[in-house]
Every structure is written in C-alpha cells, then in structure tokens.
Amino acid sequence: MLVLDGLGGVRTSTRGSEIAEANTPNLDRLATEGSSGVHTVVAPGITPGSGAGHMALFGYDPITYVLGRGALSAAGVAFGLKPGDVAARVNFCTLDDAGNVTDRRAGRIPTETNERLCRMITENVGLPHGVQAFITTEQEHRALLVLRGSHLSALIKDTDPQDVGVPPHPPTPVGPEATSTATVVEAFLDQVRKILHGEQANFLLLRGFDTHRELPSFHDRYQLKARGIAAYPMYLGLSRLVGMDTAPAKANWDEEMAELEASWDDYDYFFVHLKGTDSAGEDGDFERKCAAIEQVDGTLDRVRALNPDVLCVTGDHSTPAPLKRHSWHPVPFVMWGPTVGVDSVTRFNEESARGGNFGNQLAKDLMTFMLAAAGRLRTYGA
C-alpha cells in the first residue's frame, strides 16, 4: 500500500484537483489495468486526522480505535509512554505582539532549530505538583510533549485554534478530573512564552492529548509479516503501534523505494508513506503537491517490477491546496494485480475513480479487498 498523505483534492471553477492536473502516466496505466474507487475515511462529511486515516487504511475502524496525536507522536519518536502519562502533539508557532497566531508552523523551522528550542525549554521549565515535562523533537516544527506525574488526565481540549489571526485556546478540561492537569499545562505554556521570547518560533500549540495505548496486532489480525517505511516519525509510530516492523526513517522517497526493494523478500505486506503531498496541500502550494504526486508516479515501474500480488495507491485523507487543510472529501484509490479485475477507468483522479468498479467504500475495508486480491482469505460458509 503506497499512501500519499493528503492525496485527495477538489476541482475548482478554474482548474482540476492536483491529481487531475499532475502528469501521471504510470498511475493512469495502473487505473487502466486495474480497478478504481474512492474511499470515505470515517463517515460522510467528517474531516479525518492522519491517525484516523491510517488506522482505517490498516483495517482498524477509526471510530473504535481513537488515537490522539500525542500517542502517535510518542510512538513515532520511540518515547516509552507509561500508564498515567499524558502526551500531546506540539506545533512550534509564531505569535504577534498581540498574542495572535501568525504562523501555525513557525515557517516550518529546521529540525536543528526545533532541537535547540526543546533544549531551552527542558533546561528552564519547572512545573507544580512534582509533574515532569519532557519535550522531544519530532521533525521541523513538530515535537512531542509528555507530562508525567500523579493523577494526570488526557481530557484536555486542543490549544491549537487551527487558524491564524486569533490567539491560542487556553488549556481547557473536558471533565472535572482534568482540572488540575489543565492548570499544569497552563503553567507550562506560561513559562514557554517567556523562554521563547524573541525567537521566530515563540510559542507552542498543543493538540491530541492522549495516554498509553495498546492495539490489536496487525500480524494477529491478518497473519501478515508487515513492514512500515516512511520518512516522517509519526507514520513509523503508527505502523509500530499496530506491531509492524519499521525501517529507520528515510530522508526522501528514493530512499524509501530502495528500502522497499531491499526488504521485499522478507515481508508479506508493505506500508510505504509519502509526506510531501500533505505538506504542500497544507501550505496551499498546488504546484508542489502536483510535483510530489509526479515523483511517486515516476517510481511506480520499480514497484511493479517487484511483481506484487496486489498494489494499492491511495491517501489517508484529502488536503486540497485551495483549502490549506485536511478536508472531508473522499479519497481516490486504485488497486492493481492479477486477480483485481479491470474496469473502464483510464485516468487516476477523483472524478474518474468514482466511476470505477469499487465505487465509494469505507477506508477500513480496503485492507479486506487487498487480502482478497492477494488470495489471503478463505471462502466464507459452506
């Protein structure tokens, strides 16, 4: 399964989606020789996060298996959460003098800058009630915050307003058991504001508060030896949480392809992830998102040469560049292999995929279709 993060887009009055406008002869060939469809990640009209999107693609109902970004980030950087820990995803951001968010990603600061700022916070912050704070770099503007202490609760609303020109939300408890934890988070952020004063990345936005999670094993569910390949830590964390073996984080797509080829004979299933499509969509950079799709298209011959039983190309959600954020729009997918079947679709894009053999499916069912096409399912009943 090749997952182009945030792959889906939308047609506007002036041009088609990024997939429709990109030059994708190899994806179009897959569509011509295979079967297409679109998938709904959670439910109609619901905008999914990356965690929900990937859990669904792995065949786990995202409504049943709800993961906060904090737990995913912890898994991604291999931080061992203990029962009772509270973890949150961090965005380094930029505030103006009035305290309003001007950039939710602080210009996508370099990872080296992130590491320096995390050290500054670690060396200078002190929290009440004996609570320890761990802040660990993830990549670029993203980091992980873990609080460790007694009687902490993850029932805290996000402080990220998901917009600019407004102040961050205060840490707000969802229930009374989280009141003291919200007070700790507020004290932490008050200190961070002073510590980071004068920096381009001068504050933190927190979201996805969560705690330690145990998930059913991918191997036990499907009897597959699985390998996760990605450049971004959180997606390695996702695959690690369900029990996949994970390759070391790769620097770019070419390295991911080389890892796929090198480990092909040792595994039954591969999850290979591209982040660049989502980053470009969030930045509103239509051309860069097209270029990321074309980069994957240019390497598909290498994947086909491995002779997989089934190949699925899709995304975990839509991130249309005109919207600069995740959206609820269904995501196209194409499935290719000897037993998949062929429909009348000849282009890989949202509009064409809707007319394919698969129609509109739930994302959590794609794994079942892949298993069936690979001959991994027994006949049901007599």
Here the CATH number for the domain that contains residue 148 is 3.30.70
pLDDT at 382 over 80: no
Q: Is residue 381 part of a domain?
A: no
What is the pairing mode between strands 331-336 and 35-40? antiparallel
pLDDT at 169 over 80: yes
C-alpha 62/C-alpha 73 separation (Å) is 17
Q: Are residues 132 and 265 in the same domain?
A: no
Domain count, the chain: 2
pLDDT band at 213 (very low <50, low <70, confident <90, very high): confident
pLDDT at res. 373: 97
Q: Are residues 226 and 362 in the same domain?
A: yes
C-alpha 209/C-alpha 156 separation (Å) is 6
- Domain CATH for 340: 3.40.720.10
Q: Is residue 360 part of a domain?
A: yes
Q: Are residues 159 and 256 in the same domain?
A: no
C-alpha 138/C-alpha 159 separation (Å) is 19
Q: Are residues 175 and 289 in the same domain?
A: no
Please state the rounded mean pLDDT for residues 226-230: 97
pLDDT band at 310 (very low <50, low <70, confident <90, very high): very high
Q: Are residues 226 and 194 in the same domain?
A: no
C-alpha 330/C-alpha 1 separation (Å) is 18
C-alpha 2/C-alpha 272 separation (Å) is 5
Q: Is residue 73 part of a domain?
A: no
Q: Is residue 382 part of a domain?
A: no
Q: Are residues 365 and 231 in the same domain?
A: yes
Q: Are residues 205 and 105 in the same domain?
A: yes
Q: Are residues 206 and 220 in the same domain?
A: no
Instruction: Give residue-wise pLDDT tens across range 143-167.
Output: 999 999 999 999 999 999 999 999 9
What is the pairing mode between strands 245-246 and 142-148? unpaired
pLDDT at res. 66: 86
Please state the rounded mean pLDDT for residues 96-117: 96
C-alpha 34/C-alpha 344 separation (Å) is 9
Domain extent for 226:
2-67+216-373
pLDDT band at 128 (very low <50, low <70, confident <90, very high): confident
Please state the rounded mean pLDDT for residues 348-376: 97
Q: Are residues 269 and 326 in the same domain?
A: yes
Instruction: Give residue-wise pLDDT tens across range 272-309.
Output: 999 999 999 999 999 999 999 999 999 999 999 999 99
Task: Using a pLDDT cut of 70, give the percent of the chain over it.
Answer: 100
Q: Are residues 366 and 239 in the same domain?
A: yes
Domain boundary among 185, 210, 235: 210
| 333 burial type by CB count under 10 A (0-12 exposed, 13-18 middle, 19+ buried) | buried
pLDDT at res. 76: 82
Q: Are residues 343 and 292 in the same domain?
A: yes
What is the pairing mode between strands 2-4 and 132-139? unpaired
Task: Using a pLDDT cut of 90, give the percent of the chain over it.
Answer: 89
Domain boundary among 210, 238, 268: 210
Q: Are residues 367 and 293 in the same domain?
A: yes
Instruction: Give residue-wise pLDDT tens across range 19-75.
Output: 999 999 999 999 999 999 999 999 999 999 988 999 999 999 999 998 888 888 888
pLDDT at 338 over 90: yes
Please state the rounded mean pLDDT for residues 228-242: 90
Residue 67 tokens, joined: 């993961």
